[in-house]
Amino acid sequence: MRWLPTCTALSALLALMLTACGDDSCYDNGSSLPLARFYTSGTSTTVTVLNLTVRGIDAPGDSILIDNSSVSECYLPLRATVGTTQYELSYGDDEGETLLADTITFSYRPVPYFASHECGAMYNFEMSSLTSTHHVIDSVVLVNKVIDNSTSVAVRIYIPDDSE
């Protein structure tokens, strides 16, 4: 029975070593997705956009990210195989009919990035420009020149105040 304390100690050491190898931080936001938030023009006040549909233009498969919902922010994934990604933001009525639509265009350079052994590789995106049409959108602002896997706001979308 002398081996029992040794076996228990080895088991505890092995469990400690296995948990020390893991890094849960990479699971928080494992992809470089720009977070876009809506603001009232000329302010830092967040606004909720009603009846919004967001879809990728020329994206493979089903590209609808938001379907006639009310949102104040959304993630807009970028494609790593090309240097531009476009989204159509459609503003609808309560019946789902599109009233107006804007297009947002991201231009960038995808840069492979090795995060860690646990997280593996991902892409960061070095932004060269961000543009939009102005049917509803007043302006778009790129907060950071590099889109990485942080969860901070990367894009500010300004829209006029409806109450004016």
The predicted-structure confidence for 33-53, as pLDDT tens digits, reads as follows: 999 999 999 999 999 999 999
Its pTM surpasses 0.75: yes
Predicted local distance difference test score (pLDDT) of residue 30: 58
pLDDT in tens, 56-87: 999 877 789 999 999 999 999 999 999 999 99
Q: Sign of dihedral through CA atoms 5, 9, 10, 15?
A: positive
Read off the tokens for 125: 């995106």
Among the ranges given (21-35, 48-62, 126-140), the one the predictor scored with the smallest mean pLDDT: 21-35
Q: For the chain, what are the domain ranges?
A: 39-163
